[in-house]
Amino acid sequence: MIPLRSTPARLVLGAGVFALTLAVAAGAAAESGAHLSSKQPYQEPDAATVAGYTHAPAGYTPLLTESVARHGSRGLSEYKYDALLTRLSETALAENGFLSPEIGQRFLADLRGITAANVQNGYGQLTGQGAAQHRGLGERAVARNAALFARAEKDGDRIIAETSGEARATESGTNFLAGVTKAGAGVLTRGITPEPRPDLLYFHKSQNPDGTTKPAGSPELARAQAYEAYVAAQTAPGGTISAALDYINALPRSVSAADDVLSGIFTPDFIAKIGTPGHVWYNTVDGTKKGAVSCAPGADPAQDKSACGSPKKVIATPVDAAMTLYNLYIIGADMTAENTGDHTFDFGSYLNGRDADLEWFASLLDAEDFYEKGPGLSGHDDTYRVAQPLLDDFFTTIDDRVAGDNVAATFRFAHAETIIPFAALLKLPGSTRQAPDNAHPQSLNDVFDYTNNPWRGESVTPMAANVQWDVSGRIGTDPSTGRAFTPLVRMLYNEREIGFTDACVPVAAGSTWYKSSELKHCLNGAERIEDPRIAAAPVDPTASPSPTASPDPTASPSPTASPAPTSASPTDAASTGPSSAKPSARPAAAGALVSTGLEAENLMPLALLASSALLLGALAVGWFVLRRRRLEESETEL
């Protein structure tokens, strides 16, 4: 496992262009400007991105594709935010706490609308958008790997779909398979349903989605318990994460943003009362701490257990109230198909023109996910080490295929709690920098903040976020090793082709393809058993819809080169895996790249092309010049 470290941000050749790739990964979310945090609806890649997928080197053909994806867009996870604001609004209505009766009636109508929409759809269930997102993912997976699926059908190979066991993940898998079928690979999906794998895809909890507990004495139970214990200790009073979140939420900016938003709905007197006796609301029938469990009106708890919320949830401060409203606003972006008829709602109307406040609220929500599920605190890998079995399964799937297994594709469906730590484990764009382990923060430099950390929920884990590996193999014996050719892997992150961490050496400078043996070395600490480079590994510039498409020179990041928090030390993460130092053999290996037109120190250098025809003093017909762009190879410690 590679630790997250603090390193200066630099443009790195070989693993790619970090800044540009991070922009690609976050681009769709940034375009919206809606600041939706992890509730950002998935943005499928545009035609140019798809056309830019690179070819595997000559001689290699598609062998396998595998992925893990977050479920698609969903509704509210339980009767919680809508319930809490309903309790608060009932008090405001009784005390004339709304700015006007009309605002009060409209606000309550919006609350009734979103509750009714979730009752009809099912709390926590996939929405129409979510289903469409995964059908699209399935269709594009087949289009990208058309040759693989055609051969799999001919050879009688099969595909596997796995789910965490949670209904929305399973439904995502079902819709994905429907997309595969629509794309023409229906023979492979016949009789296939997502298989529950909570051990692999619900690793963050001891209790599985079906209510059972992971087997006693099993590694998955021990792993889940260790993670749960770490988060519980860190978020309890005295814990560093607790101190960081308390500090962030108590910042004047948090208070002023909350006041900005609430002041457009409630009177100053009512806002000032929030948190005082009689003005703290729990998610219970009467809003008191010991009140009865509250269930959504019109819901059948026997059919929808999430229609009854946890009584522990509370609004105790104006910031709590504003964040509760913000949570209703961001989920609305995932419920456009359900926001119709007699259950419509519009929480965006209360936030119009408050872009800065929305960005701040997104950062508050992101902070919690960052600390508890993502890169987390410097010197700790507890929050992302829990995803190691998933990475191991990716490698096992490749090894099994090479050994003759007939599984041509494995698709996994899970949650943000799966994607976030997996992204940190792989050091994907945005998930490369930790926050200081400071139990007594005194400034923003001591905590996660948008000004000092690139982590954004909207790009790291939007709805339907996915990590896909395409694997190509070659028949025969590799003359450099005397063994069978090692399969090559390229990665797509949210369907944008990117390079692996800069600790990994691609098969050629500027390539996004890597030997699987190299990935085991740079990601899992296995011994390097062969030269990561291959001779004559051309990067074909011709676009193709097949799994071997044209190169995207901007899609090869250096996520390990992300800058560190101001207060972090060069060794700010625990290392349980390999050394992160770069291999010294890269320059020597570059000499073998005779047919790529690429040298290790240059990004796409081309020879000067000139032609002049002289006949009886005729003029030269032209010169066409392409400049070389030289980029320094980074040797920074990872």
Instruction: Tell me whether strands 407-414 and 61-70 are parallel, antiparallel or unpaired.
Output: parallel
Q: Regarding predicted confidence, which is higher, 159 or 609?
A: 159
% the chain with pLDDT above 70: 79
Instruction: Tell me whether strands 281-282 and 622-624 are parallel, antiparallel or unpaired.
Output: unpaired
421: phi > 0 → left, psi -120 to 50 → alpha, else beta; which? alpha
**For residue 138, is pLDDT > 50?**
yes
**For residue 616, is pLDDT > 50?**
no
pLDDT of residue 622: 36
- Dihedral of alpha carbons 85, 232, 73, 31, sign: positive
pLDDT-derived band at 536 (thresholds 50, 70, 90) equals low
Integer angstrom CA distances of residue 433 from 131, 286, 474: 33, 44, 37
Rounded to the nearest integer, the mean pLDDT of the chain is: 84
pLDDT of residue 29: 38
Map tokens 């071997």 to a residue: 548
CA–CA gap between residue 13 and residue 600 (Å, rounded): 8
Q: Which value, to the nearest 10 degrees, does the dihedral of the CA atoms of residues 11, 15, 17, 20 take?
A: -140
Minimum mean pLDDT range among 165-169, 314-318, 354-358, 612-616: 612-616
pLDDT tens digits, one per residue of 106-119: 999 999 999 999 99
What values do phi and psi take at 591, rounded to 5?
-65, -20
- C-alpha of 467 from chain center: 8
If DSSP codes are grouped into helix, strand and coil, which group holds residue 516? helix
Work out the average pLDDT over 191-216.
Answer: 97
Helices (H), 250-342: 252-262, 268-273, 318-332
Structure tokens at 89: 């609004």
pLDDT of residue 582: 32
pLDDT of residue 34: 87
pLDDT of residue 535: 73
Closest C-alpha among 554, 528, 549 to residue 539: 549
Work out the average pLDDT over 373-378.
Answer: 98
Work out the average pLDDT over 105-134.
Answer: 98
**For residue 428, is pLDDT > 90?**
yes
Closest C-alpha among 53, 591, 86, 602 to residue 295: 86
pLDDT-derived band at 215 (thresholds 50, 70, 90) equals very high
Work out the average pLDDT over 503-528.
Answer: 97
CA–CA gap between residue 32 and residue 27 (Å, rounded): 9
Structure tokens at 625: 């010049």
398 in Cβ contact with 489 (< 8 Å): yes
**For residue 584, is pLDDT > 50?**
no
- What global pTM score does this model have? 0.81
DSSP string, 71-123: ---B--SSS-HHHHHHHHHHHHHHTT-BSSHHHHHHHHHHHHHHHHHHHHH-T
**For residue 20, is pLDDT > 60?**
no
Closest C-alpha among 543, 496, 546 to residue 44: 496
**For residue 196, is pLDDT > 60?**
yes
If DSSP codes are grouped into helix, strand and coil, which group holds residue 468? strand
**For residue 531, is pLDDT > 90?**
yes
With vertex at residue 297, the alpha carbon angle to CA 291 and CA 300, rounded to the nearest 5 degrees, is 100
Residues 6+ apart with CB under 8 A from 93: 104, 108
pLDDT tens digits, one per residue of 339-358: 999 999 999 999 999 999 99
pLDDT of residue 558: 34
Angle between helices 318-332 and 252-262 (to 10 degrees): 70
CA–CA gap between residue 168 and residue 123 (Å, rounded): 10
pLDDT tens digits, one per residue of 41-81: 999 999 999 999 999 999 999 999 999 999 999 999 999 99
**For residue 13, is pLDDT > 70?**
no
Work out the average pLDDT over 271-275.
Answer: 98
Q: Regarding predicted confidence, which is higher, 503 or 10?
A: 503
HSE toward the beta carbon, residue 478, CA cutoff 13 A: 19
538 in Cβ contact with 494 (< 8 Å): no
**For residue 610, is pLDDT > 80?**
no
**For residue 248, is pLDDT > 90?**
yes
pLDDT tens digits, one per residue of 452-463: 999 999 999 999
Q: Which value, to the nearest 10 degrees, does the dihedral of the CA atoms of residues 115, 119, 121, 123 take?
A: 80
Closest C-alpha among 173, 216, 202, 142 to residue 72: 173
Residues 6+ apart with CB under 8 A from 101: none
365 in Cβ contact with 457 (< 8 Å): yes
What values do phi and psi take at 146, rounded to 5?
-55, -45
